[in-house]
Amino acid sequence: MKCRVCRGQAVIDIRRHNAAFCREHFFEHVQSQVKRSIKTFGMLAPDDKILVAVSGGKDSLALWDILLSLDYKADGLYIGLGIGEYSNFSQEKAEVFATSRGAHLHVVNMKDSYGYDIPQGAVSARRAPCGTCGLSKRYVMNQQACKAGYEVIATGHNLDDEVATLFGNVLHWNLDALSRQRPVLPTEHGFVKKIKPLVRLGEREMAAYCVLRGIDYIVEECPMSEGNTGIRYKEALNEIENASPGTKHQFFFGFLDRGLDHFSEQAGVSAPELKSCSNCGASTTGEICAFCRLRQMATDPERVTVGSPSFRPRRRH
């Protein structure tokens, strides 16, 4: 296996690009894919203050590393979810990385700052842990970014994540989620701009990047995500990709080019009116936002405010 660029010994092959790369040219490939996403989707201006949401996993640590190596001003945010050893180890990985790069990492502990952790929140709200976790993380990321004056939040969602989400949204014809499944969500209604610069890179490439760059990350999956439908979709999609490399890329980028606008236009016509959450002021379609309701159920179930039946957060990703 020879490097596509220099014909030296390759360390990785990427079948959907029909290419293999040596260590040096693989780093160049990864950087160029991120630069291409940033440019194509208008993700960043050179001086933007970026908050990278880091989980301690390969994708978000690699993303932070890439943004720093491209000379962006990027700090990290780790959210302590209270999922036992898994949370302790992942926090440690994020901290070790930050120290090694002399980068600033904000750490917010859900229990200390918001009064509940994910296992407890999921039980109290009678919701699946991943739903509770996703809602909490999105809210906390936005609140921390606003508080500390960051212009952009960057997350480590990669091509495999986006394809699995798209697949699930199509299977269930979740029109609302389809209308918002884009690599950039602009600043609006009190939400800080959100970007996913790794959308052109797959899971395997991100793991290889970390290993080759000497980035130590948490390999274990979250113990609460067992049986999660997203994981099943990824397995099914991997089988299809193995048989026809490039299918995932075509599915996702084909959707962005030819499908997304239809869903966005429809969503614009039927968008419910936005109000301010009576508790925290965040934009919501009900009286009280989904996060405040979850937090009330988890910390003070006796005093849960009844929201309108259609209440939901305006933005999910």
> How many Å apart are CA 280 and CA 233, to the nearest integer?
35
155 binds ligand AMP (CB under 6 A): yes
Query: Which is nearer to ligand AMP, 74 or 79 (by Cβ)?
Result: 79
Give the tokens for residue 273: 């009116």
55 binds ligand AMP (CB under 6 A): yes
> How many Å apart are CA 305 and CA 294, to the nearest integer?
10
Give least dist CB 312 to ligand AMP, A: 18
- Closest-CA residue to 294 (of 142, 122, 141, 137): 122
C-alpha pair distances (Å), 53 with each of 1, 50, 170: 36, 10, 27
Give least dist CB 310 to Zn ion, A: 16
Contact code string over 117-136 relative to ligand FES, x by CB under 6 A: -x----------xx--x---
278 binds Zn ion (CB under 5 A): no
Residues contacting residue 262 through CB under 8 Å, at least 6 positions apart? none
Query: Which of ligand FES, Zn ion, ligand AMP, none does residue 159 bind (CB under 5 to 8 Å by kind)?
Result: none
- Work out whether strand 49-53 and strand 152-154 pair parallel, antiparallel, or are unpaired: parallel
224 binds ligand FES (CB under 6 A): yes
Give least dist CB 14 to ligand AMP, A: 20
Query: Which of Zn ion, ligand FES, ligand AMP, none does residue 282 bind (CB under 5 to 8 Å by kind)?
Result: Zn ion
237 binds ligand FES (CB under 6 A): no
How many residues interact with ligand FES (rule CB under 6 A)?
9
How far from chain centre, in Å, is Cα 232? 18
- Closest-CA residue to 69 (of 197, 208, 201, 199): 197
Given the rule CB under 6 A, which residues bind ligand AMP? 53-55, 59-60, 77-79, 81, 134, 137, 155-157, 161
